[in-house]
């Protein structure tokens, strides 16, 4: 595994790479911000046995520079496209979780020629009537004191799940870890704009443009992005077969709670 920071048009971009073979670009979310902290998790390591996994830190997170002129979804898309160019990635498989899944979907509908296969895991990005994405930011304000128990309940199947407590403990960790958690939540506050957060109303009407084979994976007990969003993605993406893979008992961070199950689903999809 290698960690490096590249410079793209004057902005730093943090990148982790592991494995070899055809490239699989991975864009992280809130729960697996550690994938942007130099610590690939068992899910990513499993995929790296078959592919060259390229995990790119989103703007403002773990050494990736902020976006200076804007934080619209379009700005994030262009930031990632420029990072792909700098890394020499012309065609690749693309996977993303949560906010990273949203960005992956936005890239796929705009540049389907770049994305060979698409994997969305608990992805934000869609507006589904009556099924709004949870307001994670109201429970993550440093000046009020972060409500880690509620955050864990949103991001995992249970606030007491061992993985949830590992990544979002009640007690403060090392300062660099706390800073990176804050950066991820701060990133979401920029891209979310105002309540309700983390969607682009236009995206659902554009999904038909993402014609590549697609795989939608969700946790049955996702407390942040409701299961209805999995069905909306599966219905809207032509290459999904119209059906999402729902992992029983798992929460929003389904790939962290069930790395073996989700890894098998994704690996089989990529091979197929």
**Residue 192 host element (H or E):** helix 175-192
Q: What is the per-residue DSSP string for 62-115?
A: TTPPPPSS--SHHHHHHHHHHHHHHTT-SSEEEEEETHHHHHHHHHHHH-TTTE
**Does residue 62 register a pLDDT over 80?**
no
**Does residue 9 register a pLDDT over 80?**
yes
Which one has a higher pLDDT value, 228 or 153?
228
In the prediction, which pLDDT does 184 show? 58
**Does residue 194 register a pLDDT over 70?**
no
The model's pTM: 0.91
In the prediction, which pLDDT does 272 show? 85
Which one has a higher pLDDT value, 251 or 145?
251
In the prediction, which pLDDT does 140 show? 54
Q: What is the pLDDT of residues 104-145, one digit of tens each?
A: 999 999 999 999 999 999 999 999 999 989 876 665 555 455
**Residue 228 host element (H or E):** helix 227-236
Token code pair at residue 182? 């804050």
Lowest-pLDDT range, 10-14, 68-72, 135-139, 177-181? 177-181
In the prediction, which pLDDT does 36 show? 45
**Number of structural domains, the chain?**
1
In the prediction, which pLDDT does 151 show? 81
State which residues form the domain around 18.
Answer: 2-271
- Which CATH number fits the domain that encloses residue 46? 3.40.50.1820
**Does residue 55 register a pLDDT over 80?**
yes
In the prediction, which pLDDT does 111 show? 97
């Amino acid at each position: 595994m290698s960690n490096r920071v590249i410079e793209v048009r004057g902005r730093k971009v943090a990148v982790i790479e592991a494995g070899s073979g055809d490239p699989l670009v991975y864009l992280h979310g809130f729960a697996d911000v550690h994938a942007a902290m130099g610590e690939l998790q068992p899910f990513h390591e499993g995929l790296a046995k078959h592919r060259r996994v390229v995990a790119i830190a989103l703007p403002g997170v773990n050494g990736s520079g902020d976006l200076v002129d804007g934080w619209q979804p379009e700005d994030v898309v262009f930031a990632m496209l420029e990072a792909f160019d700098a890394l020499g990635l012309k065609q690749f498989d693309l996977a993303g979780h949560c906010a990273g899944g949203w960005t992956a979907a936005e890239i796929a509908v705009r540049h389907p020629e770049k994305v060979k296969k698409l994997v969305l895991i608990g992805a934000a990005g869609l507006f589904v009537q009556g099924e709004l994405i949870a307001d994670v930011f109201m429970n993550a304000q440093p000046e009020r004191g972060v409500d880690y128990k509620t955050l864990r309940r949103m991001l995992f199947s249970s606030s007491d799940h061992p993985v949830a407590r590992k990544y979002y403990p009640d007690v403060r960790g090392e300062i660099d870890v706390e800073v990176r958690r804050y950066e991820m939540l701060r990133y979401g506050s920029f891209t979310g704009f105002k309540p309700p957060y983390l969607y682009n109303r236009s995206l659902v009407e554009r999904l038909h443009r993402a014609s590549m084979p697609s795989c939608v994976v969700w946790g049955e007990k996702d407390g942040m992005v409701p299961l209805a969003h999995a069905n909306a993605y599966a219905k809207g993406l032509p290459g999904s077969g119209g059906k999402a893979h729902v992992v029983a008992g798992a929460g929003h961070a389904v790939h962290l709670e069930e790395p073996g199950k989700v890894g098998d689903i994704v690996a089989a999809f990529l091979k197929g």
